[in-house]
Amino acid sequence: MNASMTGIFDALPGIEVPVGDIGPGLASMWEGEASSGRPAPEGDISKATQVNFVLHLGLRTDAEDAVRQFQVAVSFSRRYPCRVVVLCPQKEDAGDVRAKVYGECTIGKSKEDTRCCEFVMLSYPRWARPFLEGQISICLSADLPLYYWAHRFVDAARLADYGYLTSVAKRVIIDSAQCAAGSEALPWPHPENVRDLAFSRLLPVRQAIGQFLSRYPVGVLGPGLRTMRLRHGGGVAAEARVLFAWAKERIGACGAPGEALEVCESADMGPRAFELVFAYGDARRFSWRADLDTSHAVFDADFGCGGSAVMTTNVSVLAPEAALSEAMFF
């Protein structure tokens, strides 16, 4: 059995149970919560569960990262009660399938607002791969939508081995900043359902740029644009790529020529810094400079109407659980 992947499974919280006793294990877990005086669901937990969620930890995930992503899933489930299955693949073909169960309930805005989540952790070797879908289906709540998050896959092509999950999931979630190169361009069964966390966590950035530019007429933004350039630090290459694609689409809708646009990495910037510059054939100008490490951003623009505008703002990205919500539901 692979030590690193076994370490991931062992690092996650929960009560280990035989694979065939996952259902009874969940029931006994809630009995233990109630006997200890902690919140527990009153009756069938599926009444509170809103979604099924599969978190698939790729082979590049270490124990510390696994616990961090697990906590993201827990934070998400406190807002959206769900049944979560965490998949921990083993590199080697030896070993057995192992299972853990974990659950918690939190009080919402009132005593009657009890939000519960259930987690099932499955550690599986390669030989068990053909039987994985059947085991997952047993763990999930019936008649609820499925969301699938593939985290840190070594080889993007390996995602094709999990066609059941990528086909039936309402959303397939990746993070192009952490997945293998090419994950975002795979021939997904339903590409319209794929969401990139690198794009989702930039929601505040996209909103800030969009709100600033929305004060100007469309006719002064696109026509006459000669170049649009996005420079970025080495720590935000994936974020820069998706931000550039979004900016290119939006400025293109304003009439800008697509061939005038480029994105590039710059060594003389902070690791999480951006610089977006529009250059025109006349006196018009626009630039946005931001650094996520200092939470500081500056707009500098003059579109020939309303005079020059320089504005300093805060800049941030969504918290991981909020980015997950954005990717899932929007």
Average pLDDT of 231-236? 94
Instruction: Encode pLDDT of 39-87 as tens digits.
Output: 555 555 444 678 999 999 998 899 999 999 999 999 999 888 899 999 9
Percent of the chain exceeding pLDDT 70 equals 88
Average pLDDT of 192-220? 96
pLDDT of residue 240: 94
Instruction: Encode pLDDT of 86-109 as tens digits.
Output: 999 988 787 899 999 998 887 767
Instruction: Encode pLDDT of 116-132 as tens digits.
Output: 889 999 999 989 988 89
**CB-CB neighbours of 317 under 10 Å:** 19
Cβ neighbours of residue 249 closer than 8 Å, sequence gap 6 or more: none
pTM of the model: 0.90
Q: Residue 99 is inside which H or E element, if any?
A: strand 98-107
Residue 11 has pLDDT above 90, yes or no: yes
Residue 3 has pLDDT above 50, yes or no: no
Question: Helix-strand-coil percent breakdown of the chain, rounded to 5?
Answer: 40, 30, 30
